[in-house]
Amino acid sequence: MENEELLKSVTEKAQVWLGDAYDAETRAEVKHMLDAEDKTELIESFYRDLEFGTGGLRGIMGAGCNRMNIYTVGAATQGLANYLKEAFADLDQIKVAVAHDVRNNSRKFAEVVANVLSANGIKAYLFDNFRPTPELSFAIRHLGCQSGVNITASHNPKEYNGYKAYWADGAQIIAPHDVNIINHVNQIKGAESIKFEGNPELIEIVGKEIDDAFLAAIKELSLSPEAIKNNSDLKIVYTPIHGTGVELIPASLMNYGFTNIIHVPEQDVPSGDFPTVESPNPENPPAMAMAIAKAKEMGADLVMASDPDADRIGCVIRDNKGEYVLINGNQIAMILLYYLMTRNAELGKLTGKEYIVKTIVTTETIKAIADANNIKMYDCYTGFKWIASVIRDNEATCRYLGGAEESYGFLAEEFARDKDAVSAVSLMAEAAAWAKDKGMDFLQMLQDIYIKYGFSREEGISVVRKGKSGAEEIVAMMKNFRSNPPKSLGGSDVVIIKDYDSLELTDVKAGKVEKLEMPTTSNVLQFFTEDGTKISVRPSGTEPKIKFYVEVKGHMASGAEYDKAIADADAKIALIKKDLGI
């Protein structure tokens, strides 16, 4: 009976999409789903409306209310436009910057956004071609816009696309604007409510002038020009993995003074099909395989990559056997923050008013580094909109040095408010040159950090559960972890439980419950054990998966103990995964 009701509901919703308000291509695709004997695609495309959440939209492209298409993009933009006109009613001209990545349909969707905005009397600055996500954030501030929209699905598979909404400070939207925009978007009930006919007079194409200003601002972040001069021929392999970093990241490296940038020609081709990789995600070793092969061929010192929208960085270094190995997002964060804090100290730039930011699922070793340097560290939720929120709260009184999340995102600047692979790659290369001047490579630098501040080993595990049944299973898993929390993990008792949904910290041994001070709730659980292990669990906000973040502690007195520390930590992580049933 339940399946009959569901099929009846989706059929009724789909039949609306056969009306004259929808184009011929869309109507044909919907009719094909309705006529098909197997109704799976119909159900998946119409069983719900693609939700405009706090991060915007993200979904598989295709016809239907649960898909990314010109109508779901148009509805999101109409809702945004309605809210902007309400929020900025006193302005003569509201302005919005619009950018997109290399994905299939991204240009089309970006043009829809510009048309809908302009049809509503809002000026749209539309980039002439694909651009890195952080440049959109920069452009909002640079052009004095009230909002921004970026069409991107980051590192998701090629079937996906997405829609990110930004506010006037260049950050992705948070309260109260997120809820207000969502409410306005939810009021758009059909294609008839969307103003698709754009006003060309209110659409301005932008490009090189923004590139030049963005690159100039990134150059100002450089702290070690002498080290770069001494090591300008550092062999750096860089790949954009078919994405938006293809021009600006090599340009930024050259702007910094690096002269030996080695390309991976096959992956310099921008393409929404990502033809040389199964997944364009620089945290996955297969995505880095061609760059590593090029590094072996050329004897490179460093290998770096950016994801398709160039906001996340991947990095490969040489291990003590000379092999090229991928380091994780926590290690990238540690290297960059260690470099920025240490180099600022060397230059006498620390005044006691500096701070860094990390997300709650990112390694706690960063806090040890910050504490040792008397630099304040803020913890925030996953997502750079929360790091941007901390920057906004502190920009008048304190100096931001950098912010990081374990998922390969880093932001070194205040002139953009979203993670930035353009500046991160540039500073990573600079850190390598600085370390080389001190007689170290990145492996030795990492080992030095672990010796000084304590060894940690992290692993992220994503359990994918697709579709309606998968979403329900993820909800059930989180419910079970709350009602039946683990008593021990990896042989160590759980002593603290943090539930960010209820904002409660439970001291298991003392039997006490305290309130967590956070700006809002979030569907995240954390378990801390007696031996310093930290496990975080949360559903992804953008993908059909539940994520586990495992961090274990260890001891390392010298570089010679590095391999043993890793082996011991990996054995403990294996036990924890078994305990969690993943």
By the 10 Å C-beta count (0-12 exposed, 13-18 middle, 19+ buried), 2 is classed as: exposed
Residue 139's nearest CA partner among 78, 206, 199, 201 is 206
Q: How far apart are CA 248 and CA 432, in angstroms?
A: 20
Kindly state the tokens that stand for 485.
């929390």
Per-residue pLDDT of the chain (582 residues), as tens digits, is 357 889 999 999 999 999 999 999 999 999 999 999 999 999 999 999 998 887 789 999 999 999 999 999 999 999 999 999 999 999 999 999 999 999 999 999 999 999 999 999 999 999 999 999 999 999 999 999 999 999 999 988 999 999 999 999 999 999 899 999 999 999 998 899 999 999 999 999 999 999 999 999 999 999 999 999 999 999 999 999 999 999 999 999 999 999 999 999 999 999 999 999 999 999 999 999 999 999 999 999 999 999 999 999 999 999 988 999 999 999 999 999 999 999 999 999 999 999 999 999 999 999 999 999 999 999 999 989 999 999 999 998 999 999 999 999 999 999 999 999 999 999 999 999 999 999 999 999 999 999 999 999 999 999 988 887 888 889 999 999 999 999 999 999 999 999 999 999 999 999 999 999 999 999 999 999 999 999 999 998 767 789 999 999 999 999 999 999 999 999 999 999 999 988
127, 206 contact by CB (below 8 A): yes
DSSP letter, residue 50: P
Task: Indicate the DSSP class of residue 127.
Answer: E
Q: How far apart are CA 340 and CA 336, in angstroms?
A: 6
Closest Cα partner for 10 from 43, 41, 55, 56?
A: 43
The catalytic residues are 154
Cα angle for residues 69, 72, 77 (degrees, 5° grid):
120
Overall fold of domain 227-453: Alpha-D-Glucose-1,6-Bisphosphate; Chain A, domain 3 (3.40.120)
Are 48-206 and 227-453 equal in CATH topology?
yes
**Is residue 398 within 8 Å of residue 355, measured between CB atoms?**
yes
The domain locations on the chain are 48-206, 227-453, 455-580
Using an 8 Å Cβ cutoff, are 554 and 573 in contact?
no
What is the spatial distance between Cα 13 and Cα 49, in angstroms, rounded to a whole number?
10
| Burial class of residue 469 in the structure, from the number of CB atoms within 10 Å of its CB (0-12 exposed, 13-18 middle, 19+ buried) | exposed
pLDDT of residue 10: 95
CATH of 455-580, one of 1.20.120, 3.30.310, 3.40.50, 1.10.3470: 3.30.310
Phi and psi angles of residue 334, each rounded to the nearest 5 degrees, phi first = -60, -45
Least Cα distance to 316 among 331, 337, 338 occurs for: 331
CATH of domain 48-206: 3.40.120.10
3-state SS of 281-339?
A: CCCCHHHHHHHHHHHHHHCCCEEEEECCCCCEEEEEEECCCCCEEEECHHHHHHHHHHH
Residue 97 near residue 203, CB atoms below 8 Å: no
